[in-house]
Structure 1
Amino acid sequence: MSPFGRPSAEEHAALMAQIGPLPLRGRAWPRWIAAIAWVIMAMIAVRLVIVLQLAPAESLPMPVIASIVVCFGALLWMSVHMWTSVTEISGWGIRQSWITRREVPWADIQSTKFIPLFASKKLVCFVQKGRPVVFQAGTPELQAAFARISLVYRKRT
């Protein structure tokens, strides 16, 4: 038996049957978390407008204005991806659309760790080479599937 969480072919087939009809797709982030991100973005935008109305543009150096615009744009970009990202579990492996695409085939997974945080349930996949890949589950179906995957692909000692 491998010290890693790689299950046998039978264990993997049983896992796929437990998960249900594949592909299983759902939101990567819970809708309420993504909505909170948009509310925070709106509050930041309102505050920026108020500050810019109170302080003339001539009093703020251009590098400061540019850095504020870049930071606000980056936060806006992350909020868009939190709202639109999708996690998919398929016969191939696990994929998540994000700022950069996250994906890992079943054959590359050595072990996993399910992290049930309050705001986001995560599955950390430890792969043969490279850094661990983290996936978010925003629906109860994905969260249950992540817990099952973690049980089957746990690190064995």
Structure 2
Amino acid sequence: MSPFDRPTPEEHAELLAQIAPLPLRGRAWPRWIGAIAWIFMALIAVRLFIVLQLTPDIALPLPVVASLVVCFGALLWMSWHMWTSVTEISDWGIRQSWISRREVSWADIQSTKFIPQLASKKLVCFVAKGRPVFFQAGSRELQTAFAHISLVYRKKT
């Protein structure tokens, strides 16, 4: 028996019945995490504004200012994706909108691991080829579904 024996069709059907109705959609990140990200962005913006208002004799060199602005833009982009990202569990598999789309079909999942962290509950899906795929659950329904998926698709020993 391989440690990556997939669930039987009956076990998979029972799993989908447990997490029904499908598709199940929810925030990928908890709202409070997104709010904290935006608060930090506001604090960084205020500090960046203060730095840019310095007199020319004590101002930062232009390449340093440019790199600060680029880094701030990247943080804004990540904060936006944290705020708007959605995770979906469907008959096809699991998808999450993120900076790059994350998705894995049920047929590709070899095993899973549920990681209950403080900030975000995660499901790691190990696939036959390639790197593991990480999904976040920001809602109670998704967290419960991730726990059920992890039990059915856990690595068998």
TM-score by length of 2: 0.96
Residue in structure 2 matched with residue 15 of structure 1 by the alignment: 15
Do the aligned partners of 1:5 and 1:112 also contact (CA within 8 Å) in 2? no
Instruction: Give aligned pairs, total.
Output: 157
Letter matched to residue 41 of structure 1: M
What is the percent sequence identity of the aligned residues? 80
Counterpart Cα distance in 2 of 1:52 and 1:136 = 36
2:48 matched to 1:40?
no
Residue in structure 2 matched with residue 108 of structure 1 by the alignment: 108
Do the aligned partners of 1:30 and 1:120 also contact (CA within 8 Å) in 2? yes
Do the aligned partners of 2:51 and 2:59 also contact (CA within 8 Å) in 1? no
Counterpart Cα distance in 2 of 1:57 and 1:153 = 62
Letter matched to residue 67 of structure 1: S
| Cα distance, 1:57–1:115 mapped onto 2, change above 3 Å | farther
Runs of 5+ consecutive residues of structure 2 not aligned to the other structure: none
Partner deviation per Cα, 1:11-47 (whole Å, 9 max, x = no partner): 0000000001100000000000000000000000001
Residue in structure 1 matched with residue 132 of structure 2 by the alignment: 132
Runs of 5+ consecutive residues of structure 1 not aligned to the other structure: none
Runs of 4+, deviation exceeding 6 Å: none
Give the aligned CA root-mean-square deviation in angstroms: 1.3
Counterpart Cα distance in 2 of 1:17 and 1:145 = 11
Per the alignment, in what secondary structure is the counterpart of residue 113 of structure 2? strand
